[in-house]
Structure 1
Amino acid sequence: MKLKTILPILLCWACVATACGKESPTEAPVVTPEVPGKGDVTIYVTTNSRSLDFAKKTASFNNKPSMSPSIITLDPTKRYQTMDGFGAAITGSTCFNLLKMAQADRTKFLKETFSETEGMGQSYIRIAIGCSDFSLSEYTCCDTKGIENFALQNEENEYVIPILKEILAINPNLKIIGSPWTPPRWMKVNNLTDLQPYNSWTSGQLNPKYYQDYGTYFVKWIQAMAANGINVDAVTPQNEPLNRGNSASLFMGWEEQKAFVRDALGPKLVAAGLDTKIYVFDHNYNYDNMADQNDYPIKIYDDAAAAKFITGAAFHNYGGDKAELLDVYNKRPDKELIFTETSIGTWNDGHNLTKRLMDDMEEVALGTINNWCKAVIVWNLMLDSERGPNRDGGCQTCYGAVDIDRSDYKTITRNSHYYIVGHLSSVVKPGATRIGTSGFTASGITYTAFENTDGTYAFVLLNNTNESKAIVLNDGTNNFSYDVPAKAVVSYQWKK
């Protein structure tokens, strides 16, 4: 049969199927059948039931303008932030689990995750400077007093660096941000009044007399990673600076961080000829309910001598609301925003994809981007089926973006955070610009549009409703339609 004969039949079938609404619970949601054609648009679809599990689809441009009431029109004249990328944290625990896998299995997973041609193309990762609460031990890279004793340790040399090299071989364009959980203990004091030595991994404050040494510590770490072929794009001065309770931690209020960046870290990076970016804060939207720490990054920016070294601020979502991102942006639109950590776990029903895919896509992925974030990074890429390895005093209730079965180190369960990052990274490439849209809106429908640097458009949409939605996208030249299943995330990419 000729295409002209087939097309009306298929379209009729789609209408009948949608109208009947007699899906079996085990069947895939009704999706517009793929008509033989050019496949102008590449589409990835995930439903919260996994009936469609990052399924690759195509659609073709319509021959005529659409009169559908659910048209969304892209407006590339409205331009917002450029995107740096999307990914997860490559912790010591993640690397331990990956190295337990057979080489062929690990390579397959890493390609599926990071390859720009054979996988999701995840493009931005976070690593710890020294240990984190998902390390194999507590340590820093200078545990013997004296900055001349700096050296990468076993966790970097045997776990993190080998995995990073494998990932970079797959995606050499990967961006990396580093964050310390604690400085060397010999740099810590109990408080800034008594200045008594504080020989503990947990809490304490940075002794101002060691600001210069600690700035050198960052420089040495960046240079040591570079010597191993690993370029660090950015750092934060301290992970969760208002959290005293983590297994490795340091309290660093905004006044301390301002002084450290202004007087030590910033000048040390410049003196070393490093263009490594600095993102301040790296903690929760609500500033851990500490009134004197509200607007933490803004207070640092108000010091011009500090602000000149700072690219922007990083945020987590363990407290408060993403609206804080917009507030910070509006106060200092010249500074960037990135999102650097969120986790799923036992406390938020983290293995329940039915709930988490919807909530995490709305709040974390699209929610942060639509409030000016240039990057979205979730917590551990991979934990095992016992939520580890982890450290006493750290998070022992976290799940990874994926979990690997500890009984075989082969069977992988993909959780919501893997999907939300993948739905962004698969179509939105580093350097893309978020652009405007107009037209169809509805409760439960969240989306954002992008223009990539390679001459393509990207569009990511969440349908958090109980019915499929016949969405039409129009870029001003071409338009196409696709029935978005109920409770689904859909990513689109097409050439202009």
Structure 2
Amino acid sequence: NSIGVSYLRLSIGASDLDARVFSYDDLPAGQTDPTLSKFSLAPDREHLLPVLKEILAVNPAIKLMASPWSPPPWMKTNGSSKGGSLKPEFYDAYARYFVKYIQGMQAEGIRLDAITIQNEPLHPGNNPSLLMQAEQQAEFVKKHLGPAFREAGLDTKIIVYDHNADRPDYPLAILNDAAAKQYVDGSAFHLYGGSIEALSKVHDAHPDKNLYFTEQWVGSKSQFAENLPWHVRTLVIGATRNWARTVLEWNLAADPQQAPHTPGGCTECRGALTLAGNTVTREDAYYIIAHASKFVRPGSVRISSTLPDKLPNVAFKAPNGQKVVVVQNESPAPQIFHVRYQGQLFTSTLPAGAAGTYVW
């Protein structure tokens, strides 16, 4: 209980974990709405907005990031929710779509800390999805989205990429464009491909820009004994040692059949919580995140720690002055180890594959 989750990611319009595909400006085939006169948050009023308001009532300080899986289909080259690219003639309308979304959420009492421009821009096979190359995203940011945010007086952060660590060249191409970079807070990553160390490559090239780890799923057919070690070692420890300011699992909740999802969406995405009527089951991602979230509070700063063999770890200084170390034993046998800090010393043992969080 009370694991202190402090950051959540929403979809702008439908993700593939909605029961149906929708945007906030859906029209009959062949029609367009460049003035966005039909824009409405109505699809979110039944479920998402009430739940978000309940969450904010519990923790008003929680931060929210929002990501689109697709623009309205009429803005796209193929007129479909799946795949296609954003038509250049609708870049301006789509920038204003983001502005109207953020302002609409603000009117509901929901402030967005950040948006990413596109979830997985190099994966047009999901439903919904969009193909957006790096040069297209740079063009969209520097000539449309950034100026639109500035004109509207929005302080919501603009975050680029939001895809796998095998393509650090994508965010680097945008950040290397000075006209785009001025509007960008940082880059977001997933890890369905590549190495978590790629985040440091982006940091080293642009240390003035932030990094975020924004998505990793837990498969419904996988086991806790494999999930906990990998996610703690690679994400809680690995992402933060490589400059990530967030570590987000995907997704928050699902039913026992891993629903809802769109036709063609993820059918095996296990939520951090499984909801069966009034029965709530805490799943793998809940405990993975809890290892850090309960004690590594917002405002914590990562501090240096050595890396002994078979014991990946990460250390933080929390705002209250506490020190927090998350350790994972990746060996097949129990490991005894010592933690030394400014003359203080303690000894602990972790079973094979286990993770531990140490606070003092």
TM-score by length of 1: 0.69
Tell me the residue number matched to 2:349.
483
Tell me the residue number matched to 1:66.
none
Contact residue 65 and residue 114 of structure 2 kept, 8 A:
yes
1:362 to 230, 233, 243: 233
Matched, 1:139 2:28: no
Q: SS of 2:99's equivalent? A: helix
Matched, 1:442 2:309: yes
Matched, 1:246 2:126: yes
String of CA shifts for 1:92-115, please: whole Å, max 9, x gaps.
Answer: xxxxxxxxxxxxxxxxxxxx3xxx
Q: SS of 1:473's equivalent? A: strand
2:289 to 418, 421, 431: 421
Matched, 1:455 2:335: no
Tell me the residue number matched to 2:39.
150
Matched, 1:389 2:260: yes
Tell me the residue number matched to 2:184.
310
CA distance in 2, matches of 1:163, 1:308: 34
Tell me the residue number matched to 2:270.
399
Matched, 1:278 2:158: yes
2:59 to 164, 171, 183: 171
CA distance in 1, matches of 2:143, 2:228: 43
CA distance in 2, matches of 1:229, 1:478: 46
Q: Matches of residues 89-128 of structure 1 in structure 2 within 5 Å? A: 112=1, 119-128=2-11
RMSD over aligned Cα atoms: 1.6
What code does the residue aligned with 2:229 have?
A: M
CA distance in 1, matches of 2:336, 2:132: 50
Displacement after TM superposition at 1:395 (Å) = 1.0
Tell me the residue number matched to 1:130.
13
Contact residue 313 and residue 336 of structure 1 kept, 8 A:
yes
CA distance in 1, matches of 2:225, 2:346: 28
Contact residue 134 and residue 390 of structure 1 kept, 8 A:
yes
Matched, 1:264 2:130: no
String of CA shifts for 1:310-330, please: whole Å, max 9, x gaps.
Answer: 011101111122121122222
CA distance in 2, matches of 1:222, 1:411: 31
Displacement after TM superposition at 1:487 (Å) = 2.5
What code does the residue aligned with 2:166 have?
A: N
Tell me the residue number matched to 1:331.
205
Contact residue 435 and residue 450 of structure 1 kept, 8 A:
yes
Which structure's relative contact order is higher, taking Cα pairs within 8 Å and 6+ residues apart? 1
CA distance in 1, matches of 2:48, 2:255: 17
Displacement after TM superposition at 1:409 (Å) = 4.2
TM-score by length of 2: 0.94
Matched, 1:161 2:29: no
Moved over 6 A (4+): none
CA distance in 2, matches of 1:224, 1:491: 40
String of CA shifts for 1:331-366, please: whole Å, max 9, x gaps.
Answer: 2222211111111215xx42x111111111111221
2:246 to 361, 371, 375: 375
The size of the alignment, in residue pairs, is 354
Structure 1 unaligned blocks of 5 or more? 1-111, 113-118, 190-197, 288-293
Contact residue 273 and residue 280 of structure 2 kept, 8 A:
no
Matched, 1:430 2:298: yes
Larger displacement relative to structure 2 (255-264 or 143-152):
143-152
CA distance in 1, matches of 2:304, 2:215: 26
CA distance in 1, matches of 2:242, 2:199: 6
Contact residue 244 and residue 251 of structure 1 kept, 8 A:
yes
String of CA shifts for 1:162-215, please: whole Å, max 9, x gaps.
Answer: 1111111111111110000111111111xxxxxxxx221101111111111111
